[in-house]
Amino acid sequence: MQDAFRDQVLAGKVALIAGASSGINLGIAQRLAEAGAKVMLISRSPERIEAAARTLTEAGHTALGRAADVRDYDAIAAVCQETEDTFGKIDIVVSGAAGNFRAPAAHLSANGFRTVIEIDLIGSFNVLRASFAHLNTPGASLMSITAPGAVRPSTFQVHANAAKAGINQMTRCLAMEWGPAGIRVNAISPGPIADTEGVARLAATPEREQALRNRLALRDYGTKRDIADVALFLSTENARYITGTVIDCDGGSGLGDASEDALTAPPPRG
């Protein structure tokens, strides 16, 4: 049995990571590459994705960056084919491309709603589905990046919460259908992660930032490394019996508002 956190545990493995030009997904790509995987990175912007791949190759890892929009199935399928041709069959897929903004539903256009559904939910299906014919089976590990809002609704987020809820159910459906082929399908649900675009957009002012932090049971933001370690674990044999699951790595965000301090509260009377 491998040890998930031993160096080079992914030597010889091939990973495809969508939405990997920045943030959480780039952190995952870095972690998988450090563990020895050859990584194919995807995002829309050629400049951003090539720069991301360069940071990995300059650190001595094997990485390529390709521009493709997850809304364009054929473009994603072409990158999957190129990944197999260049590196071999794909062992690990991380589907994490997303778009988000705060918008009250009464002012959100139909196209704004559709755009986020198309990137997050349909895009995730496209990445997982397009990779299917190129997977190294049995043993492949697929994961999407969801969010606590998939389960616990929040205001100004109808588009993103609906998309991520779809991802959670898609995860379970694909796990049932593809499990017999030895393919595991899971999702990771990060809470607010420091120094990311997602947090910059959702907690744009210091007041909102502090309020968000105070609601968390653990009272702190997570790091990209926290999420990357979960992705690494899911990528290894140590997770061989885990499928159809959403793993919360969220400081308690999904539990709800924990801002009331129960530890300093007076004991009950009587």
Q: List the single partner that 167 binds among ligand NAP, ligand COA, none, CB under 5 to 8 Å by kind.
A: none
Q: Which residue is nearest to ligand NAP (CB)?
A: 23
Between 22 and 238, whose beta carbon lies closer to ligand NAP?
Answer: 22
- For the segment 148-207, give every residue that binds ligand NAP (CB under 6 A): 190, 192-193, 196-199
Q: Which residues bind ligand COA (CB under 6 A)?
A: 98-101, 103, 108-109, 111-112, 115-116, 197-198, 201
CB of 21 to ligand NAP, least distance (A): 4
* 22 contributes a contact to ligand NAP by CB under 6 A: yes
CB of 92 to ligand NAP, least distance (A): 16
Between 88 and 197, whose beta carbon lies closer to ligand NAP?
Answer: 197
Residue of the chain from 4, 45, 168, 172 that contacts ligand NAP (CB under 6 A) = 45
CB of 203 to ligand COA, least distance (A): 12
Q: List the single partner that 31 binds among ligand COA, ligand NAP, none, CB under 5 to 8 Å by kind.
A: none
Calculate the CA 237 to chain-centre distance.
Answer: 20
Dist CA 33 CA 29 (whole Å): 6
**Contacts with ligand NAP, residue ranges (CB under 6 A):** 19-25, 43-45, 48-49, 69-71, 96-99, 119, 123, 145, 147, 190, 192-193, 196-199
